[in-house]
Structure 1
Amino acid sequence: MPLRIIIIGGGIGGLCLAQGLKQAGVDDVHVYERDASPRGRMQGYRLRISPEGESALRDCLPRRAQDLLAATANLRHEQGLAAYDEQLNPQWAPEFGDARGDAPDKIDAVDRMTLRRVLLAGLDGVHFDRRFTHFEQVGDQVVAHFADGGSVTGDVLVAADGANSQVRRQLRPEFRHLDLGVRAILSRTPRAAAIKAGLPEVLRDRFVNVTGANGLRLALMPMVFRDTPREAAGRLWPGVEMDPAEDYYMSVFSVHRDVLGIPDTEFLSMTGEQLRELVLERTAEWHPDLRGVFAHAEAAETYPLTLKATVPVEPWGEGRVIPLGDAVHTMPPTGGVGANTALRDASALSRALAAVARGEASLEDAAAGYQAEMVRYATEAIEMSLKIAKWSMRKIDVETEA
């Protein structure tokens, strides 16, 4: 049956879904994104890609997009998690297996902006600068309305509009995230500057967790491109637009709000320069090789976060409005699986909707089956993320099983 699909949100999950539907032969798909351009608002930097996330990407992307993503992925495969205290004394850390081993085309980490460009490649029907306001259901169709006064009608509306989902706000006004009590400062430091400042070789090519006094925490993650995005695109997919990029470290400095001692209204309004200085102040007694990373952080690429989670994850029920990604299962970044879970959503939902378009399933059954599967693996992902948060922070505002 002909199926017109409206996707609200042009982030990673929404675009991956659009790609998956295109590969499945569902062509009447339209993505509406509030950002004025692909660069838009800051949404983070480096993303860890799990085996499940890579599988979902390969399910949804055409071959040359897969090749382009692999060519621009992190060059150095992560060798697990290294944990230290603030004076760089080794600490115990959990171990994580990876069945992919050292496969040459393994995608274990990517630059978020590069991933978004790859997900946009070859897609028609992506509309920027369209801020969704509300929807209405009219018979067997859904009408999405936008701030510019326009509207669009479809058979299905997918809520891929993030943790602050406007779709969810209308459909489930009673919903509230669980605030974990953790406040974070996310930043990016050019790799060359960090190394010049004295970053030890043992910390340069792996995921590093540093836990200091009072539960202050630093997560440091390298992004070393196998090939620059523009060079890779020129070789593999001429004409695909890519942003300039250099190797960098993504750093996440986390602290419980009680230890931070700054009201949220003040913390969330701090400039990049102020946030960088705050980190330097709070880590004044840390090992100088770590402080060099903070000192060279790019102020324009530094911003505050509050860590929240969706507990429990619940389906949105029957109907033509279907959730995807952070709109339905927000989780802290400690587990490195938030984006991967959204990619799994995209793969699962594209299969479900493609079955409807081929007449192999009813929309009601397909949506229910997808949401049941999503609730299962998203709940597992959130539980794992909360356990790691509790291990690394020592204090979060939620009880988790040991």
Structure 2
Amino acid sequence: MNTNLTQKLSKPIVEKVAIVGAGPGGLAAAIALRSQGIDVQVYEKAQEFRPAGTGLGLAPNGLSSLDAMPTAGCANAPGIVETLKSSGCEVHHTVLKNIQGETLRTNATKYLENYGQPLLTIWWYRLQQVLASRLPSEIIHLNHRCIGFEQDENGVEIHFDGEKSVYADLLIGADGVNSIIRETLFGEGKPNYIGSMCWRAVIKYHHELFNDYELVFVKGNQQFMYILNVGGGYTSWISRKFSPEYSLSHSADEVKFRILHELADWDESFRAVVEATPAEQIWEGPICDRPPLTQWSQGRVTLLGDAAHPMAPAMGQGANTTFEDAYELRECFSDSANLQEALTSYEQRRIERTKIIQARSALGEMRYYDLDTVASTGQTQQRQMTLNDDFHKWLYDFKPSAIS
């Protein structure tokens, strides 16, 4: 065995890592790297963790990645995935409805049967809380808004509001689609609006359709709605509408009036969940992504999750690919003799895969609105279904080596 390999097996290739962003990606990366004995510190601009975010789907590829991560200091605790299952809702049955409430199609999911993990719906806030519970509270630093960084060959100095600075061997930007770390590295400006406006909320509410289904999809005219059972008696509703231009409402009451106006012709069972939502809890905003990067790292700085590969939510892969990132970054640290080798390997493992998923997600968002350019001949549809089956197997069958 060569000297470099012996050294990297006995000692982490870096001692201290700073992660900017305490969303699910930043927390998962912290869990993954702490399991290798690395001193990880997480910095978050929010002043407190508070109920926020949407309902999302954790697919087999994301759950398998989380399942493969050892948790330092939590040897007797249930696995992360088991805890998430008890915090969210396993999806067994889904239904497609039209805006009049008529059933167009029902489906029994086969994720567990085909890929070894279920489809799990969960509130973003609950996901964040589960991941944060696997870390010592003292390594998560709230009220730290990153405003930039400087690096040299020996380390990175990260600057925060209030003239606060910290020093680390590596900086990981897990700070989302509007990442200050990515902007400092590559200077791209604002993300791209992709023509899809969104309204969403999570509230304590039991929808009548949850007696038979865990996930409801309602298809309108260039507009659609998801109603998700996210566990614990909570419902997540998400409505998106095709809109080449976007504008934001001026007040919470205007937001609620606007979305109810958009749903004016929809069945009352769909409008009711919006009516039951306090106006100040409804989030309104544009759906954005960014073009794929050819590199995620410079020197001692790298990106992860939405900071690296923000994508349209059509395939529900934002969080799932982020957990793949965290797992793969851990593996690259374990298998490499130095930091540069680890970051190069990380990019080689991740960029091409996420580039494909980004492209398919953008295409999928437009297909929600029947705006794709694929001809609707029977032969073309059959070929598309075969391609989709192959793609879904490639996507969901991601198997981390630790559990394969």
Contact kept, 8 Å, 1:73 with 1:108, in 2: the verdict is no
Other-structure match for 1:84? 97
Offset of 1:82 from its aligned partner?
2.5
Other-structure match for 2:327? 347
- 2:43 pairs, out of 17, 22, 32, with 32
Matched, 1:172 2:148: no
Matched, 1:391 2:391: no
Other-structure match for 2:272? 292
Q: Deviations over 1:148-171 (max 9, x none)?
A: 112111111101111101111111
Local SS of the residue matching 2:167: strand
Give the root-mean-square deviation of aligned CA atoms: 2.8
Other-structure match for 1:369? 345
Q: Deviations over 1:170-225 (max 9, x none)?
A: 11113553321111001124323x43xxx5844xx332221223x12111111123
Which letter does structure 2 place at the counterpart of 1:33?
A: E
Distance 1:100 1:85, change over 3 A: same
Offset of 1:315 from its aligned partner?
1.7
Matched, 1:3 2:15: yes
Other-structure match for 1:222? 229
Other-structure match for 2:217? 209
State how far apart, in whole Å, the 2-side matches of 1:324 and 1:295 are.
Answer: 37
Other-structure match for 2:61? 52
Which letter does structure 1 place at the counterpart of 2:40?
A: V
Distance 1:393 1:56, change over 3 A: same
Other-structure match for 2:387? none
Local SS of the residue matching 1:188: strand
State how far apart, in whole Å, the 1-side matches of 2:338 and 2:201 are.
Answer: 45
Matched, 1:111 2:91: no
Offset of 1:9 from its aligned partner?
0.9
Q: How does 1:18-167 map to 2 (within 5 A)?
A: 18-26=30-38, 28-39=39-50, 42=52, 44-62=53-71, 64=77, 66=79, 69-70=83-84, 72-75=86-89, 77-79=90-92, 81-91=94-104, 97-100=110-113, 108-121=120-133, 122-123=135-136, 124-167=138-181
Structure 1 unaligned segments of length 5 or more: list them.
226-246
State how far apart, in whole Å, the 2-side matches of 1:96 and 1:313 are.
Answer: 34
State how far apart, in whole Å, the 2-side matches of 1:396 and 1:177 are.
Answer: 22
Q: Deviations over 1:112-156 (max 9, x none)?
A: 222212212232421111111111113321110111112111111
**TM-score normalised according to structure 2 size:** 0.80
State how far apart, in whole Å, the 2-side matches of 1:393 and 1:96 are.
Answer: 24
Offset of 1:86 from its aligned partner?
0.7
Query: Percent identity among equivalent residues?
Result: 23
Local SS of the residue matching 1:16: helix
- 1:329 pairs, out of 309, 331, 343, with 309
State how far apart, in whole Å, the 1-side matches of 2:78 and 2:164 are.
Answer: 32
Offset of 1:25 from its aligned partner?
2.0
Other-structure match for 1:316? 296
Q: Deviations over 1:270-299 (max 9, x none)?
A: 31x322222222222212222222211232
Contact kept, 8 Å, 1:110 with 1:223, in 2: the verdict is yes
Other-structure match for 1:236? none
Q: How many residues align?
A: 356
Contact kept, 8 Å, 2:123 with 2:236, in 1: the verdict is no
State how far apart, in whole Å, the 1-side matches of 2:78 and 2:28 are.
Answer: 11
Other-structure match for 2:402? none
Distance 1:7 1:33, change over 3 A: same
Local SS of the residue matching 1:286: coil
Distance 1:315 1:29, change over 3 A: same
Contact kept, 8 Å, 1:16 with 1:61, in 2: the verdict is no
Other-structure match for 1:257? 243
Distance 1:71 1:362, change over 3 A: same
Contact kept, 8 Å, 1:310 with 1:328, in 2: the verdict is no
State how far apart, in whole Å, the 2-side matches of 1:191 and 1:183 are.
Answer: 24
